[in-house]
Structure 1
Amino acid sequence: MHDPEHSSDRPSEPPQPQPAAETDSNQLPESQFDLFISYCRRNLEFIQAFYQDLQKQQRSIWIDWADIPPSVDWRAEIHQGISAADSFIAVLSPEYLASYECQVEYETALQMNKRLIPIVCENVNPKEAPKPLADLNWIFFRSEDNWDESFAKLAEALDTDLPHVRAHTRLLLRAQEWQNHDKDESFLLRGTDLERAEQWCIEGATKQPEPSTLQLQYIDTSRRTERAQQRSLIRLQRTMLGTMTAAFLIASGLGVFAYRQYQMATVNEIKTLGAFSEALFKENNVFDALIQSLRASRLLKQATWATPETQQKITDTALQAAYWVMEANRLEGHKDWAMGVEFSPDGQILASTSGDKTVRLWQLNGQPIATLEGHQSGVFFVTFSPNGQQLASASKDGTVRLWQRDGTPGPVLSGHKDAVNSVFFSRDGQSLWSAGEDGTIRKWSIEGKPGVILRQHPKAIYSLAPSPDGTLMASAGEDKFVRLWSIEGKVLRKLKGAKDLISQVKFSPDGRAIAAVDLKGKITLWDSKSGKILRQFAQPDSERPLYGLAFSPDGRILATASADKVIDLWRWQDGTFLESLKGHSGMINGITFAPDRNQLLLASASQDATLKLWRFDRSILSPLIGHEEPVNSVSFSPDGQQIVSGSSDKTLRLWLPNGDLKQVLKSHQDRIYSVSVSPNGKLLASAGADKKVMIWDWNGTDNKHENKQLPTAQTIHRVQFSPDSQWIAAVDADGTLYVWKVDGTPISQVKTSSTRLDNVNFSPDGQFIILGTEQGEIQLWSIAGFLKQQTKPVKTFPAHAQAIHDVVFSPDGQTLASTSNDRTVKLWKPDGTLLRTLTGHQDIVLAVRFSPDGQTIASSSDDRSIKLWHLDGRLIASLNGHRSGIYGLSFSPDGQKLASASDDKRVLVWNLQNLQLDSLLDRSCNWLHDYLTTNQAALKNPDSIRDRQFCDDRRR
């Protein structure tokens, strides 16, 4: 807050705050402040009036003009003020959103999981606000708003769940004190305090603010420490008292009481571990979430007394971690930053470099092989010879060192006048090329004799890379250009287009493209023959420096690594962003793919001194990424070999289930809301906001798909083929039902009693059409009746008190399922008899489908979850990972996969074969095996030791 717009300097004659209550210096207060006000100086006049009215309500307030003593670390004081406040008020204005210090305060509160209350003092564009703030209900205090009404809303927000919020603050302060004292055990919770904290965590799972990862770690560590002490005490008691005394205690009832206490404590620990896993998952720390879910599941297997609700919750927690984990192992051993990372040509060894002056060699399972010492400064780069028997390392000390694969040192190549940043072997392995900050590229014999020196770069060179066939090399660095050379050292081209210093350059595996990343966050690709820019892309509204670059061995994926601790994956041929890998705690300096084309494995090296291995396993979850707007509908082809999706970006996309994009169809002029594939696999129907139903001639193999158009009067929300592929039905925005023959011949156009229709489906025998209306009714219409020009449904019955979004028949036609704004799924007999109501979704339920065998029901919601249910209403599992509402569902013909389409612009294909806890435990144990058996921290951690023993027992 020392920038001109947001300063801690006190204004003249500010209102004075209420003094904080006096507390014992050795005891933390339950809560120091009701609220923290985060604001921009330009809004000071509003803030003073706002502050005075808050004081009239007897609120205790932290604000920077009153609560930062002179001559202190003002950032630390602000951090402590946010920690000690129950609620964080962000006073939104254009200046607030533009202020760096305001952003720091908001992000601090977000990290602590503080209750956020955004108020608006000047009009702002919601799209410019951070998403977590934009998603909340804003309270308006603009000049045109009623001040008293706004204050009443604010008071209601501040007082909602106040005991929960104050407990959040109190526990956060204690957890921070524990962290600030190097996690000293004497600061842990014990006894009643621990039980209350666990109960707060369990009861507050659905409340705001949610527990933070620090709070959950604090509770979990407290419980584990207390249980360890209890186990030690029990062993001591048994030794001292003997078996007769123990028998007496049990007989007298004391043992029964103790056992019940043990049961309760175990369940609380399970729930806390589950909550811890949930919190880690939300922070994108999926690997640690998997570890915590394994521990919760391990205890759950022993706790046979746990309720079905607890069992289901932990199973769902384990399931989401298992679906989304990509980090496979952590390699720890370097004493300083890690930068260079490289796989041997046979993919069996990983080499890494570090600021600790060493090169380390590792087995793929993470087991250390050797530490190569000899450099006099940090080592930047390492590479293997083509036969994999030698290594070359480049260092800040100005040398290149050669090593045998077993770690035996070889020649030292000296000649560069400054740090050497890159080196590679010639294709025949008889020479090397190196480049450094002295602006030169140098050639060396394998014996270390110097050769030609190339001096075309006027400034430092940071990257030098060979083409796959060994005939070319590319260099780049501080002058923002890529120079393309023949392997003999002749400059062929000077490639322009990068926006800043180039940190890395690479050839694509086929040699046709050259890619470079720069410190402005741009990724530039050139054609290696013509030198023309193929494309340039970046994360939107981002100038984060990029330091790492790698192509997957099959050439389909480009990975980039950034200063903000994230690895981004791209489909580089069209610049489509695929996903981010998060987990490092420091900026990422280097990345590389293993050479195996069949199982993608990525290694990353970070400023946090660790290496991470990332495994791309699409066997249980495949994201289909490429749409530029929300995806509204999805359908499997009848043979299960393709998936079609329709989006608000006006396109249809045809995919393979593994995520490969096959084709894009562009004929719609507006948003596409619905797609349907004919059961005979010959036709595809699509419809949407351009008021047209398009029928595509489609057999899944043609490269060109012609279509015919069926015009309608309004936006079409749903189109559907009949089971015999003879009819097409559609419904629109004003409640009209359309029926055509498959050749486009109109059969009926009926204005129903509904003001709007979102759904239409056929009965399995094709004789009836079912609708769910805006008024909450279910209607059955007869195909035979349409042929006789009848305009009334054959049956109507009330189903929901609110609008129905979807209604479908079961495959045997004996059950109907409907979803509604009322957050429920209801099951019916066709005569309108209610069978049961499925509750569990936290928001509008948007879609429902039966599995092909009719035994499973899938429902999706605006709460971003998919739920799978048994016919009897029991919940099977919750599938989490979408970032927005889920509008479309489709089972594969064999029922083993489920495709979901979401507002988050993605289709996800879920494998449903391993949803039980035992299967999840086996998968988790297999995934974590290398980490549990080779990571040095895990080998010393008592919980990890128990995890490893548990997993070993399951493997036997």
Structure 2
Amino acid sequence: IVPLLIAPTPESAFPDVLRGLQYVDFTDNTCQADYDSDIDDILNILRRDHDYYEQHKILLARAIKWEIENHKPAFLLRGHNLENAKTWLRLSDKREQHPPLDLHQQLITASEAAKGQLGTDVFLSYSRTDGDFARELNTTLQQAGKTTWFDQESISSGVDFEKEIFKGIDSADNFVFVISPDAVESEYCEREVDYAADNSKRFITVLHRETSPDTMPDALRKINWIDFKDTAFDKSFPELIQAIELDRAHAHQHTVLQQRASDWTENLRSADFLLNITACANAESWQQIAVGEDKQPVPTFLQRDFIVDSRVAITKANRRRNILLTSAVVGMIAAGILAVFAFVQMNKAELAKADADKQHKNAEEQAQIAENEKNRAEKQYKIAKANNLAFISTDLLENGDVTKAIRVAQAAYEINLNKMPSSVKQAMTNAYNSVAMGNNAFYQSELKQHTKGINTVHYAPNGQKILTTSDDGTAKLWDSQSVLLKDMKQGESIRGAAFSHDSSKIVTTGNGGRVKMWHGNGDYIKDLVGHRSNVANVAFSPDDQTIVTVSGDFKTGDYKAIMWDGDGNKKKELTDHSFAVIFVAFSPNGEYFVTGSYDLDRSVKLYDKNGNLIASLEKDNCHRQKHWFCGPTSAAFSHDNRSVVVTSHDSTVRIWDIEGHLKKTLNRHKQDVNKVVFSPNGSLFVTISDDKTAIIWDRDGNVVQVLTGHTAAIKSVAFSPSGKLIVTGSADHSAKLWDLNGNLLIDYTGHNLGVRSVAFSPDGQYVVTASADRTAKIWPVLKRPRSILFHHDGVKFAKFIRNDTQVLTVSSKEMTVKLWDANTAELQKTYTGFGSDKAGNKRIYSIEVSPDHKRFITTSTDYIVRIVDINSGEKVKLWNSQNVHDCNRLGWCGAKIARYSYDGKHIVTGGFGGKVRLLDSEGNFVK
């Protein structure tokens, strides 16, 4: 309450509620300056304790709703809101003026009492343009008893906006999307939908305004919407409640299990976070029903891994417990024998001896029974594990990951069983048939340390390192062999990154205005301070002397580009755009650069290298007049530095000259055009679109080829260094390799979610793909898997060596190892001399190739461990492992397995009796 005294009034006449309050006195004003001073006083009062009164109002409004709705739990406070409310109440309970009310206290106390008991039924995703409808929907859901996550109520000021949104999606059983033209075009809504799809959330769509299905995200297009546009709200709302209530227990269990699995992943998959025996059994039952009855949402790969690892840990724990129990039983029997023997010895020596013999025999029988039970349990465990791996392999194959499907099937096949389950044989057959008959490739390695979707992937110009950036707030630096070198923590979702052209520096950009500079080895250099909002992109000039970063979001209004020198010192701020700046690109000669903005701005600004504005490439009116979300998406300079090609949300590609004149408009795409890239020699450029096509153009804008084959929007593209190949990455979870004639050469399938970024290695030998599924994969270019028959009778397993140019196969039937040419299947060498044990058993247990691929080491039934030179076939070292390894209870003796250390300097052997021995690389025992 702010009293204004506008006529002389005795204080005794003031109402009690106004006494003691500061008032502004207008009665003594004699001029305009006095009046202005009083207005300033009012403004100062309004600003004073603004945050307190804002929170007072928000909490009171919610408390009144809660009271009117008979204290329904849906209106209680949760998460950040509850913690902030408790802090507000604690700091304010001593206030004399305008203190918190009892109703405030009641709401906060009831919310604290229900803490941890309330799940989230619904996450509401909508465009800010549809805010009034979303608020009505949220309130009506709460009145119906549904707990909701609604950003206007669930996000406190000062927190990471996007991080809190993703947490809200994680906690919700259902993802309700309000369909409108603005919502399907919103970058923020798109990221929410992608994240929900990444976590297999159940989607429910609500049609608020007429929207073309072709513009909707793929995850929403196949969902039948609930019509609120042509049907009265109160008639459509029960249908929404029915959709939320459908299979509610399954959806809630999906949420709980996904959160448990995410906690497990974030804690480096520690066994401490796995399910206990009861929870694991419930999860397995839930998964079996979900898959068998095709329930929505479907179990995620993370959930499946979590359940499998929990079961494996439980089985191992049971085995350890059984072994301890068996030992205890045998010990108790032995103790009983001694006690009986002592008692009988005192009375009848002969009878005692007979009884002791009998008890001893019984003890041996019990021990044998225990051993048999242990062996049976181990066999059952192996069968269960093999069947489970076969199931996983089949599932992977159905989802397009041929590489992992074959590797998992191989792991199932290599489990030591006398009779292989039919499921494993079928999985192996299916996996290899898919390779022989398909157009797929194996990925060479997988980069999988990120905990959220990967946004971009980059090869260093020198080809020695790979950089990935992610929504998990980290950039990770890998060597070319996929070994993680550095974990570079940004703190918030990373949107863009770039290597300097000499590979000596890296700059990463992300949410919250964060820009960081790093050495090429991943060591931190400094923060580049100047942005206040999300920084979308970064580019180095060709000479690495200038860096440009671009930013902006509607919350801060910080729409600008910043120029920095090569060491990260600020040179100039460019504020010519009127909305968020999303991309930047330099000309090949470094004399120019462009920046682009969408939405309310929709322009590309052309600057010289000093940051002087040359021209504004203004767009024509948006083709979709009903949609305000338009504007450019990317730009690239021609190699002669005389033209700029700009792609746009309005489905067009425009070619401008360097003075800012429009030369040509290309209208072949049907939906948003997402990116343009020039070939290395500048004779061609390629554009990609949400219409599922990529188009190759000559430099004048004539169509050369249209690349068709993707089944969803294409989001990324790159030319090979030779300019002869193109790779595209799509929301259909695949990448594809094409030649310039439009021929599809290879399907790179194996990601579980959309491919967001693709890149060629500088030598053109590899393609790397990055996906929303949190992984990046490295693929060999033009190396498709082939079915080659190696004629080796009874072959047990094989190993590729020397960059996959040769294959070693092992046959226990022939008791030989053979070396083959991997491309022609020509036999190059046969290694013999392996023998049987005393009982005539013949088997080569293991083979291991040294890291330098010059030698291999084997263990076999003749107890001999052999180190063999691969080229000459000479046995460098051999020794009888019976002398150093004990036998197990079944009589199996000697070394069972041998392995090289990572650096090749040591060898370790493991025997049947449980002993492990360490040797140097020449086979001399260390200890």
Q: TM-score, normalized by length of structure 2? A: 0.41
Q: Which has the higher helix share?
A: 2
Q: TM-score, normalized by length of structure 1? A: 0.40
Find the structure with the greater CA-based Rg: 2
